[in-house]
Amino acid sequence: MQPLASMATRRGLLLVLVVALCEVSALGRTPLWDGNIMMPTGEGHKGEEGTRWAILIAGSAGYWNYRHQVQAESIIADVCHAYQILKRGGLKDENIIVFMHDDIAYHPENPYPGTIINKPDGPDVYQGVPKDYTGSDVTVSNLYAAILGDKSAIEGGTGKVVDSGPNDHIFIYYSDHGGPGVLGMPNPPNLYADDFVGILKKKAAAGTFKELVIYLEACESGSIFEGLLPEGLNIYVTTASNAVESSWGTYCPGMYPSPPSEYGTCLGDLYSVAWMEDTEKENLKKETLEDQYLIVKSRTSNHNTYRSGSHVMQYGDLKIDVEELERYLGFDPANENVTKPGLSELSPVNSDIVTHVPQREADLVHLKHKFYNAKKGSLREANAASELAKTILHRRHLDDSVRLIGELLFAGEDALQKLGAVRPAGSVVVDDWACLKNMVRIFEASCGPLTQYGMKHMRAFANICNAGINSSRMSLASLEVCKISTSVDLGIWSPVTSGFSA
């Protein structure tokens, strides 16, 4: 008989040999993974590679008055530009879902009907953009259904949804006006943070994506996720601003660089332009989400000086930011030879040159430009003066109404401080979201539409809720301040007709 030690040695060698033979056999059938992800779009989610999906949302519209159209132009231009980038990156239209009101390209104020540009002397970005959900179909309910892949819940539009599977990567880009805890939509209701994050949690629980990335352009956009979006959902977010500040417009009249003289509007939003222009020149097989975050953060903050601009933020699963942008935005072969990006490429700008404007001031920039460049004594000058006066009066009405309501509710003592109180970083803006939505409805019933500018007061309504003030007291205060009818916009707001009259 052989010694036990010798038998154990032979058995060990035999086991090693069997394992080696299995590995050789496997290598003969399937090559080793080289670390690169291969995701051909349009092949569905049946294979292991997965598909890239994208949802692009332009929340603004021309609404009932041109003064909002100027703000909508840059937002829709942002979304159209984003579509062109994804298309060049290899995503197919069947995997890109576009929400936009689509009232800008042929608006009477557009100097080149049927075209939209996103930068001075830039190309037309409107051509070829899918019109999946336009006009009255751009709603929060349709957006949520599209994210969840719920075709049965869609009303209108093409019916296109994110029909994703567990290996897929999803990119969501949302450009709009916002306020603490809220994002605007061209059709009511607006999007509230608690509902949106709830939809993201539901999508994650369904297991219908591998990773999801969100880029969000709006004022106070950080408040949509602050204290609400947990880790562990495989969702990564960057926002144009933190929870308490405005985002910024760029390529505006009278600034550097300015749009062509025939354009009287801001052409883009700073954060959006920053990530898109970076994407267009980089090799997305090498640039990571973190690389782009740092580059966009620097540009959006005026190269970390914050002389103008905002704080770009990150939320969710930050570990995802080590991944290449190709997984979400595709890859443009024209940039194959571009080296890995670096912040050293960014050069400081002259601090004496005005380059950006807070997003909420973009309409004033447009109207002032329109007034000062009109022929003296002309109808155009008179119309611009009227629009400017309406806008200023409308803003004053909203600001004064909220202030006076606060003074009534808080007995005048430190009312402004209580209305504007900011919770510690990482805290949610309001404890009771149902209360917040109700306070907005009560205000609008007595004082007129909050509108995009009025979204800045969402924190005031949140703090009214956080103070435990009930709807009855809010109703009485709103009626007392705004009375039966309120003069706004050089017209009359009537809570009876719920509209404006000249």
- State how far the Cα of 183 lies from the Cα of 64, in Å rounded to an integer: 19
Count Cβ neighbours within 10 Å for each residue of 223-260 and write b for 16 or more, e otherwise: bbbbbbbeeebbbbbbbbbbbbbbbbbbbbbebeebbe
- How far apart (Å, rounded) are the C-alpha atoms in residues 177 and 355? 20
Q: Please give the order of strands across the beta sheet that includes 96-99.
A: 96-99, 52-58, 169-175, 211-217, 235-239, 313-316
Q: Which of 45, 68, 177, 369 is catalytic?
A: 177
Q: Which residue is associated with the tokens 């032979």?
A: 10
**Alpha carbon distances (Å) from 137 to 29, 80, 319:** 50, 18, 36
Question: How many other CB atoms are there within 10 angstroms of residue 174's CB atom?
Answer: 26
394 noted as active-site residue: no
H/E/C letters for each residue in 298-350? HHHCCCCCCCCCCCCEEEECHHHHHCECHHHHCCCHHHCCCCCCCHHHCCCCC
Catalytic annotation, pick one of 68, 80, 101, 219: 219
- Does residue 266 have an active-site annotation? no
Backbone angles phi and psi of 404, in degrees to 5: -70, -40
DSSP state of 133: B
At 416, list the tokens.
Answer: 């402004």
Give 359's contacts (C-beta < 8 A, 6+ positions apart).
71, 177, 218, 219, 246, 247, 248, 249, 269
Give the Cα separation of 443 and 449 in Å (integer): 8
C-alpha span between 123 and 60 (Å, rounded): 22
Q: Which residues are catalytic?
A: 177, 219
